[in-house]
Amino acid sequence: CLMAVPGKVAAFRLPPLPTIGEIIKLFRLKARKQLSQNFLLDLRLTDKLVRQAGELKNAHVCEVGPGPGGITRSILNAGVEQLLLIEKDTRFIPGLKMLSEAAPGKVHIVHGDILTYNMEKAFPKYLKKSWEDEPPDIHIIGNLPFSVSTPLIITWLENVSKKDGPFIYGRTQMTLTFQKEVAERLTANPGGKQRSRLSIMSQHLCTVENCFVIPGQAFVPQPEVDVAVVHFTPLVQPKIQQPFKLVEKVVRSVFQFRRKYCFRGIETLFPESGRLKRTEQLMMTANVDPTLRPTQLSMSQFRNLCNTYRKMCDEDPGLFVYDYREELRLKKRANLLISTSQTEETEEENQF
């Protein structure tokens, strides 16, 4: 046993444990394709991923979908105070319990789904900080399955906007993996071919950094794409100060026809009756060139569009609930009924 240096706390290190590969063999674990699971076994890469989260010594961390526990080991070796593991797949729980026993008092395992887990009670109340302060000593880390990564980040961005969920504690930071293409969308600048709804929704609420790319061959089984590590820090002030659902509706509409001029998507915000006039009014008031492509619009132009659309909704309360796709569906249905009716009439005439 090493003697502790007087006045210093000895750094925590996990005792010798079976390798992640041995854990996989021991518990006969296999990645499930339908859950888009891919294991990261190289501890040098898991250490590098965890370093992107920043200083974790004495921090409280939530790891999403730890699986066989590769990243979990790197988090524990970073000297965290507490580690909450949320794992949906029961097959991984025994291996995670082995890690928990190797780090007494540090690990809490929850068998559950991160999409439904109540993050507002995940951490001690004393860690809460004001939104204007530095981020709290809380971090979310995860090698996310591809199937949940986009819906989950959209959910968390809405939480950032409302300052609830894991952000009830302040500007909680996140370090997460995504398919390389999704990561490029999250961080794309105006004019970039990957500029998308995700770019606007994430960048108007957070500082988003594409940290580094992990080649697909580092995972077991090997995915067909490379994976990128992305770090999010919520902004003190969002770049668009409107409700999340309103921003999302405007942005989704703009990118609905991403290869066409932006006015084509903006038209879908308005009912067919008066559509052209209201689209012109919105674009003129927001000072946005209608012949720009959606990918060319800057954040300030999206802010102008959202602010102007909000005023139009305030003047016409029924406008925000208008759904272009629903109107299209009803129109098709009506046309189908007319067509069916005409066919029946023709058949009756032929009988006579």
Cα separation, 144 vs 337, in Å, equals 46
Domain boundary among 202, 234, 266: 234
In terms of domains, do 253 and 160 share one?
A: no
- Asked if residue 250 belongs to a domain, the reply is yes
CATH code for position 224: 3.40.50.150
- State the pLDDT at residue 145: 84
Do strands 219-220 and 39-40 pair parallel, antiparallel, or not at all (unpaired)? Answer: antiparallel
pTM above 0.85, yes or no: yes
- State the pLDDT at residue 40: 86
Cα separation, 151 vs 164, in Å, equals 17
In terms of domains, do 192 and 287 share one?
A: no
In terms of domains, do 165 and 256 share one?
A: no
Do strands 173-179 and 60-64 pair parallel, antiparallel, or not at all (unpaired)? Answer: unpaired
Please give the DSSP secondary-structure letter assigned to residue 82: E
- Spatial contact of 244 and 161, defined as CB atoms under 8 Å apart: yes
In terms of domains, do 127 and 261 share one?
A: no
Q: How far does the chain reach from its first CA to its final CA, in angstroms?
A: 104
- Spatial contact of 262 and 244, defined as CB atoms under 8 Å apart: no
Sequence-ordered alpha helix ranges (H) in the chain: 20-26, 43-51, 70-77, 93-102, 146-162, 180-187, 197-203, 244-254, 262-266, 275-286, 299-315, 324-351
Q: In residues, how long is the chain?
A: 352
In terms of domains, do 153 and 57 share one?
A: yes
* Residue 40 is labelled as binding a ligand: yes
Helix axes 146-162 and 244-254, enclosed angle (nearest 10): 130
* Residue 350 is labelled as binding a ligand: no
In terms of domains, do 224 and 249 share one?
A: no
Do strands 82-87 and 39-40 pair parallel, antiparallel, or not at all (unpaired)? Answer: unpaired
Domain boundary among 234, 266, 286: 234
pLDDT in tens, the chain (352 residues): 333 444 444 567 776 666 666 666 655 556 555 445 577 888 899 999 999 999 999 999 999 999 889 999 999 999 999 999 999 989 889 989 999 999 999 999 999 999 899 999 999 999 999 999 999 999 999 998 888 899 999 999 999 999 999 999 999 999 999 999 999 999 999 999 999 999 999 999 999 999 999 998 888 777 889 999 999 999 999 999 999 999 999 999 999 999 999 999 999 999 999 999 999 999 999 999 999 999 999 999 999 999 999 999 999 989 999 999 898 888 888 777 766 655 555 555 555 4
* Residue 65 is labelled as binding a ligand: yes
- Asked if residue 327 belongs to a domain, the reply is no
In terms of domains, do 65 and 123 share one?
A: yes
Do strands 219-220 and 138-142 pair parallel, antiparallel, or not at all (unpaired)? Answer: unpaired
In terms of domains, do 200 and 91 share one?
A: yes
In terms of domains, do 229 and 251 share one?
A: no
- State the pLDDT at residue 306: 98
- State the pLDDT at residue 250: 98
- Asked if residue 2 belongs to a domain, the reply is no
Q: At 253, which amino acid appears?
A: S
Tally of CA atoms within 13 A in the half-sphere of 192 that contains its CB = 16
219 pairs with which residues across the strands? 40
Residue whose entry in the numeric block shows the structure tokens 């006045």: 7
- Asked if residue 342 belongs to a domain, the reply is no
- Spatial contact of 247 and 204, defined as CB atoms under 8 Å apart: yes
- Asked if residue 334 belongs to a domain, the reply is no
CATH code for position 281: 1.10.8.100
In terms of domains, do 219 and 254 share one?
A: no
> How many domains does one find in the chain?
2
Domain boundary among 205, 234, 263: 234
- Spatial contact of 112 and 152, defined as CB atoms under 8 Å apart: no
* Residue 314 is labelled as binding a ligand: no
In terms of domains, do 229 and 261 share one?
A: no
Q: How far is CA 177 from CA 224, 333, 342, in A?
A: 15, 42, 55
- Asked if residue 159 belongs to a domain, the reply is yes
- Asked if residue 340 belongs to a domain, the reply is no
Q: At 288, which amino acid appears?
A: V
In terms of domains, do 265 and 170 share one?
A: no
- Asked if residue 138 belongs to a domain, the reply is yes
Where in the sequence is the domain holding 297, given as residue range(s)?
Answer: 244-321
Residue 272: Cβ within 10 Å count: 11
Nearest one of 104, 112, 55, 52 to 83, comparing CA atoms: 104
